[in-house]
Amino acid sequence: MTVPEVKESVEMAVQDAATGQTKLTTTTTDFQRIRSVRQIPLEELYTSGHRTCQGCESAMVMRDFVKASGPRTVVTGSTGCMYVANTSYMTTPWIVPWMHTQLGAGGSSAIGMAAGLRALMRKGKIAKEKINVISFCGDLGGGDMGLGGISSALQTDLDLLVILYDNESAANTDIQATGMTTYGAQTTFTPPGKEHRIMQRRWKKNVAGMLAVGHPTCRYVATACAAFPPLDFLNKVRRALSVGGPTFIHSFDPCPKGWDYHPRYSHELGELGIRSGIFPLWEMENGKVTYTFDARKNRVPVREYLEKQGRFAHLIDEDYDYIQGMVDKMWDEWAIPGVIPFLPAQTPVTVAQAGSAAAEDPAAGEGSADEEA
Ligand code: SF4
Ligand code: MG
């Protein structure tokens, strides 16, 4: 079997011919696109010996991203399942250098790691070469607590990739709801009862969307699922590292323990989540959004995905209808499903336009004054 080598066009440091000064630039790494399973690197850089649950898709995310990035990679990971289960006392499945960081520090530790490498290279303490800096964080650590740090990371000029692995709960502390838990799901924070059948009433936070539209200098943001479509996640990791600069990927990770299903169905649930459209797959590169699975047509009913999980066992017909309606609305009415919730027919109004409209219609101003009074 021929496994193509990863090509790297490395130029981390350049010497200015006129001044003799060394300048560091954001460089790109030309990773080859993986077109078939035969081209997936055989080398394992996240090995056996960890203690994640059987069927854990987040463990697949770890294994896949470091396979895609290769051995010249350093990893930082914030507290969560992928920290706790991967670091039993004095053991680790990581072959590449790995560092633990605080729960909300996924973004800031990536900044520190990338900036530290840059400084060491500038000072000649280590060889000048392309080293991939990848930070991972969970949905609580990255999507809720650490969002500010990730936002800061995406405003730097450093080469780093943040991967948010989303199992839709704080899984390592016994399945508490987060801002990214699906509407209606049972968690230890949101147990269904006689008075209130639905305790998780929030719609899933659109983290990748808000990072994509809010950070114009970030050149690559994507959503992904390690289970489906095949090779998609591996290639998105390579694409992010090739584009360079600060980049972000949000992965959708079925979790047998938290979602309450038999571990053998992890891949199937990942695929159903994508095919039902409840988790849109897309990538934004240099401001252009493309769908890597287009669920605008031929969506699988979301009930097929929900009914296979014990966390939704308390839902009744009207709940399934509500969730289906929300998914349909996103795909049928949003300007960019899963990214921008403006209706296509509406043109956003600028602050200046809103001000001039108020000036032309004094009654509008009087009305608001009355309300204040
Ligand atoms: Fe993986 Fe879920 Fe188990 Fe955590 S609780 S190790 S995310 S399957
Ligand atoms: Mg989680």
In this structure, the chain runs to a length of 373
Report CA Rg, the chain.
23
Q: What is the pLDDT of residue 339?
A: 86
**Residues whose CB falls within 8 Å of the CB of residue 57, separated by 6 or more in sequence, listed in order:** 167, 225, 226, 227, 253, 254, 255, 266, 267, 270
Q: Which ligand is nearest to the CA of 262?
A: 1
Enumerate residues lining ligand 1, CB below 6 A.
52-53, 56, 58, 81, 85, 167, 171-172, 255-258
DSSP string, 198-244: ----PPPP-HHHHHHHH-TT--EEEEE-SSSSTTHHHHHHHHHHHH-
Give the amino acid at 154.
Answer: L
Name the pTM for this structure.
0.87
pLDDT digits (tens, 9 = 90+) for 217-264: 899 999 999 999 999 999 999 999 999 999 999 999 999 999 999 999
Asked, for residue 372, whether it belongs to a domain, the answer is no
Which atom, in ligand 1's list, is nearest to the CA of 53? 3
- Range(s) of the domain holding residue 250: 13-345
pLDDT digits (tens, 9 = 90+) for 115-131: 999 999 999 999 999 99
Q: What is the pLDDT of residue 293?
A: 95
Which contiguous run of DSSP H or E holds residue 264? none
For residues 350-358, average pLDDT:
52
pLDDT at 26 over 50: no
Asked, for residue 358, whether it belongs to a domain, the answer is no
Number of Cβ within a 10 Å radius of residue 302: 23
pLDDT at 1 over 80: no
Asked, for residue 31, whether it belongs to a domain, the answer is yes
pLDDT at 13 over 50: no
Asked, for residue 143, whether it belongs to a domain, the answer is yes
CB 141 within 8 A of CB 169: no
Asked, for residue 361, whether it belongs to a domain, the answer is no
Question: Which domain CATH number covers 148?
Answer: 3.40.50.970
Which atom, in ligand 1's list, is nearest to the CA of 54? 8
State both tokens at 106. 């996924």
Asked, for residue 371, whether it belongs to a domain, the answer is no
For residues 29-45, average pLDDT:
90
- Best probe residue, ligand 1, of 86, 164, 172 (max atoms within 8 Å of C-beta): 172
Asked, for residue 224, whether it belongs to a domain, the answer is yes
Q: How many domains does the chain have?
A: 1
Asked, for residue 41, whether it belongs to a domain, the answer is yes
